[in-house]
Every structure is written in C-alpha cells, then in structure tokens.
Amino acid sequence: MKSQPKLDAPRWPAVLPVSAVLALCLLAPVSASAEVKIAGLDDELATNVQLLLPLSGSACDSARWRIERLFRDADKSIHEALEALGYYEATISKSLTWSEECWNASFDIEAGAPVIIANSKVEVQGAGASDSDLLPKVRVSRPAVGDVLNHGKYEAYKSDLLRTAISAGYFDSDYEHSTITIDRPARVADIDLLLQSGSKYVFGEVSFTQGIIRDPLLQGYTDIRPGQPYSSRSINELYEALSGSTYFAAASISTEPLDTENKVVPVNVNLTPVKRHLYSIGGGFATDTGLQGRMGYTNRRVNDKGHQFDSRLFLSSVQSQLNATYRWPKDDPRKEWISIVAGAQHENTDTSESDTFKLGLLRTRALSKSWLETRYVDYQYERFTIADQDTSSQLIIFGNNWEKEKGRSLSRVEVGHRLNIDLRGASDALGSDTSFLQLQMKARVIRGMGDKSRFQARATLGTTIKDALSELPASVRYFAGGDRSIRGYDFESLGPTNADGEVIGGSHLIEASIEVDRLFAQKWAIAAFVDSGSAFNSDDFDLSTGAGIGLRWYSPVGPIRVDLAHPFDDPDTDLRLHVSLGPEL
C-alpha cells in the first residue's frame, strides 16, 4: 500500500513566481503604503521575505491594532520565508514607529548558515526504471549534493518528474515516498524520493469525427497504431498535422477515459471542418504592373477523398494571368500531394510581349520538416515578340524544385529565410521545339538587429545551357530590373540588347541586394538599400546598381513598400519610384 508523501521537516511555502508578485501588486490597497525595511539579507532572501510578510503593503490608514498584530506575528512569517530557501537559524531584530501621517517597520535579519543537501536519492521502480524517455528527467535538475536546500526547487522537481512520467505513458505513477529529513544541529538534509511508475500504457484505436474526410485519409495524419507504446509526442504531432491541414477549422484530442485494467489509452479526435467554399477579391498598385486586380475561388473539400480546387485571376496592364489547380493527397497527406495545373498568361513589357498557355502535372512531397520537393512536367505553348523577333514555341519542360522556408508571414518578419532551387529543361528529342537546361537559385534572409532594426539580404543566380537564345521564349530568358529585382530601373529593362539597342534577354542572371530598416512607429519603418545585378550572356556581363531609401507600412493585408531609388548607370534618370506589396519572404 502506498504511503502518503511525508516530510520530517514542515512543508514550506514555495518561493513566489513573478506572476504572484504582479498579483500582490494588483491586490495591494490603493491608499499609500507604509515603509517596511528589510536589512541584512541578500536580494533573493530579502525578496522572499518581503513577498511573504503580511505586513508589507499594508496601508498607512490601517487600524493600529491590525498593524501591531501583524508586526508581532512577523517573526513567524520571516522564519517561514527563509526556511523555504534553506536558512533555519535566522535571528531577527525589529522595530515599529508611528507618526501622525503613517507608521514604519524595520527588520534587521541575520540569516545564519544554510542547510546543505548531504544525500539526494531519487529512484524509479516499475517499468519506467529503464525508460530512456523518463530517466534523463531523473538526472536533470534534481537537487544535488552540496546545494543549499531549497524547498521550492524540490517541489518543482517532484512535480516535473511526475508530469514527465505521465507524459511518457505511466499514468499510474505516484510517489511511494517523498521525504526530506533535516538535521538542524548539523545543518544538513537528506532527500529520498521513490517514484513507482507502474506499467506503461499503450495506444488504443484512433477515432476521428466522421462525415468530413474518409477515415483512411485521416489515418494518414498520424503514425499512431493500436498497441504502440503511448507517447505524448505522438499526440502533439497528430494535433499539429491536423491543425496544419486545410480541411479543419479546429481540432481537439481526448485520451479519456483510460482503460486502467488493460493499460490502454484511447485517442478520440474531434474535428470541425473549415468553410468549404472560399472567395477572394482585391486590388492594388505596384510600379512593375500598375493598377491590378485579383479574384480567387477555392474549394477546400471537393469530395470526401480530400481533393481540392483553386483558381486565381490576376489583371493588370503589364501582366494578366488565369491559373487553376486541382490537387489531391497521396497515402500520407502530411508529406505528398499530386496536382494538375492549367493556366494562361499575357505579358506586355517594354522589352517583350508574350501569350503563354500551360498544362502541368506536379508531385510535391516533404523531404523533411525543412525541405519541400516538387517534381513537375509542363506542356507550354508560347507566342512571343522580343525586339524584332515574332515567333512561337512549344516546350515540354521537365523540372525539379527544392524549397526551404522559415518565418513567412503577412506581418513584419524578425527572423526568417527562404531558399529556392529550380532545375528544369526541355529536349527537341522529346517533342519540344528547342533544347535547354536551366538552373536558378533564389535566397533571402532576414535578421533582427536589436528591438527595432533589421538586416535583409537576397540573391538570385540563374544560368542556361541552350541551343540558341533566339529559340527560347520570353518566359525562359532572363531579364532584370523592377520592384523585386534591381530598384532604380524599369521592370525587365535590363539585359543583353540587339543591334538596335533593344533588350532581348539573356542566358544568365545575377542579382543581389542588401537592405537595413528601422521602426519609427508601431507599424512603420524607414529603409535604406543597395541593389545590383545583371541579365547577360557569356560575353556581355555588365552590372547595374541602384540605391535609395524606402518607407514600409505593415498593413493588415501585408507589407506595403514605397521606395525611391537612383540608378547609377542611367544619367537620364535621377530617381525612380517603386511601390510593391506582399510577404517579405
């Protein structure tokens, strides 16, 4: 039979946390408080005495009999506060004085020598005695031999150890005994803890709310199987996976009631579906594209197999496009999806005009928690005009994309990064009008510098191996310049030119940018930046550089950026205004 937890020494009030300090402040009388002086103690001891002393914070207009009673009983409170931290030999000198306005109390305290832990025995019996999830907690943070006895830390350790045992699946865990034996004359203490873990529970069936998504797909969100040893980590992973899906507005997981006879933990998942149909409409302005409008429609549950449909329409004077995606999960919806995409785009810039139609098949899967891989094949038909070249191109493009991202948000990003690597190519032997192989890498990093400042850097590298540049459509050539490229220059105005000085695009691309910004109000920041880069062929590399200052507004729909940039190799332009919006990563 289990004994009740026992202390040979009295149980002491724990050291109060910061939340208790705040509570005491909130509950203190509104009228002026008298001064209670504590002398002779270090900061930690004095703070605990002050917090646990009822006299502290009493008002000047408190009844005299009440103050005198609290002052008389203060010795007991002081001893309890110091003994909670291991000091059992305190001596106290005190005085209480009165004036017409108020009263004042002073305490001169000598803490004496502390009680030291001479022996610290912590033992686990039962199935948990060899559990690698539980044993590290036994060793870490436990009261150590040679430490000053601290009852608050001891109680916290006991609670943490029991909580860890339960989280590891030992739901019957309890202390066989938990004692502190104090030898006051010798100023030493012995700690003896024995945790009886009992048997480790196992998972039972995982049940989900029915009628939203088919059960086989829901089971793909978890690795939990009946009979598997219980782990709170598996429960947390299931919750995160369901919350991160696009099917559910809310998810809650219950492991009650426990089957204490068979040591089984049921997993009951209650799901609330998201609204199936989602419509969006919006507009704005960006220097690269001018006035723009957006419309979107998403069906987040086409059927109970988890299929989804998404469409987007974007309209502007420079670029317009209509895209649609139909996608569905494979066996593990956390890691792998198949998508069919179709789209049409019209682009009309100062350097080119093109109409593109695309149909593609994509397979997206998570390689790890950090990396996402997309393999794709696209059929692309493009009719384009670049300088004096007016022609069309048909391509079957095979590609592989890898992406790593952290910190993406519509609000101000303090720490984040994004890396995207895309390798794609086409071959005339496989039905394309021309052959090429192209590699593009984009990187961006954001780091905070103190409370209000940030540093940003981005870079883009691209290279193409090709039969002939003239056979490549506009969508495969590289151009530079614009809001998100090299500020100070028009959109896609930089690149190799023909004999008439018209930009025709290049086979390679290098872009780099450094930016520093600082908040001057809650949602406003000022920035300074330098951009440099070039689109080029192998024999005509020539960097273009722009620099300037900008204003940032972190609006509810995302950051809006207004920049003034000077192009250093364009003598006809002093400043160019750039306005853009959208996430920073």
Buried (b) or exposed (e) across 243-267, using 16+ Cβ within 10 A?
Answer: eebebbeebebebeebeeeebbbbb
Q: What is the pTM of this model?
A: 0.76
Can you give the pLDDT at residue 485?
94
Any idea what the CATH number is for the domain that residue 374 is in?
A: 2.40.160.50
Is there a domain that residue 503 lies in?
yes
Q: How far apart are CA 490 and CA 577, in angstroms?
A: 10
Instruction: For residues 330 and 452, state if they share a domain.
Output: yes
Instruction: For residues 254 and 282, state if they share a domain.
Output: no
Is there a domain that residue 8 lies in?
no
Residue in the structure block whose two tokens are 């540049």: 469
Q: Domain of 50? A: 31-110
Can you give the pLDDT at residue 572?
73
From the number of C-beta atoms within 10 Å of its C-beta (0-12, 13-18, 19+), residue 280 rates as exposed
Is there a domain that residue 408 lies in?
yes
Instruction: For residues 316 and 334, state if they share a domain.
Output: yes
Is there a domain that residue 212 lies in?
yes
Is there a domain that residue 308 lies in?
yes
Instruction: For residues 524 and 436, state if they share a domain.
Output: yes
Residue 582 is encoded by which pair of tokens? 């959208």
Instruction: For residues 229 and 353, state if they share a domain.
Output: no
Torsions phi, psi of 455, nearest 5?
A: -120, 135
Is there a domain that residue 482 lies in?
yes
Can you give the pLDDT at residue 540?
79
DSSP code per residue over 439-465: EEEEEEEEEEETTTEEEEEEEEEEEEE
Q: Quick one: which of 521, 511, 522, 525 has its CA closest to 455?
A: 525
Q: How far apart are CA 169 and CA 173, in angstroms?
A: 9
Q: How far apart are CA 27 and CA 336, in angstroms?
A: 55
Residues of the chain with pLDDT under 70: 1-33
Can you give the pLDDT at residue 12?
46
Domain boundary among 110, 143, 175: 110
Can you give the pLDDT at residue 57?
81
Instruction: For residues 255 and 290, state if they share a domain.
Output: no
Instruction: For residues 283 and 314, state if they share a domain.
Output: yes
What number of residues does the chain have? 585
Q: How far apart are CA 108 and CA 115, in angstroms?
A: 21
Q: How far apart are CA 177 and CA 194, in angstroms?
A: 5
Instruction: For residues 208 and 290, state if they share a domain.
Output: no
Buried (b) or exposed (e) across 190-227, using 16+ Cβ within 10 A?
Answer: bbebbbbbbebbbbbebebbeebbeeebbbbbbebeee
Any idea what the CATH number is for the domain that residue 254 is in?
A: 3.10.20.310
Instruction: For residues 447 and 340, state if they share a domain.
Output: yes
pLDDT tens for 184-225 read 999 999 999 999 999 999 999 999 999 999 999 999 999 999
Instruction: For residues 451 and 549, state if they share a domain.
Output: yes
Q: How many domains does the chain have?
A: 3
Is there a domain that residue 317 lies in?
yes
Q: Contact 329/220 with Cβ under 8 angstroms?
A: yes
Domain boundary among 250, 273, 296: 273
What sign for the dihedral angle of Cα 269, 252, 242, 281? positive
Parallel, antiparallel, or unpaired for β 116-125 and 188-196?
parallel
Domain boundary among 273, 292, 316: 273
Instruction: For residues 224 and 296, state if they share a domain.
Output: no
Instruction: For residues 257 and 321, state if they share a domain.
Output: no
The distance between the two most distant Cα atoms of the chain, rounded to a whole number of Å, is: 104
Q: In what order do the strands lie in the sheet with 264-273?
A: 202-208, 264-273, 248-254
Is there a domain that residue 168 lies in?
no
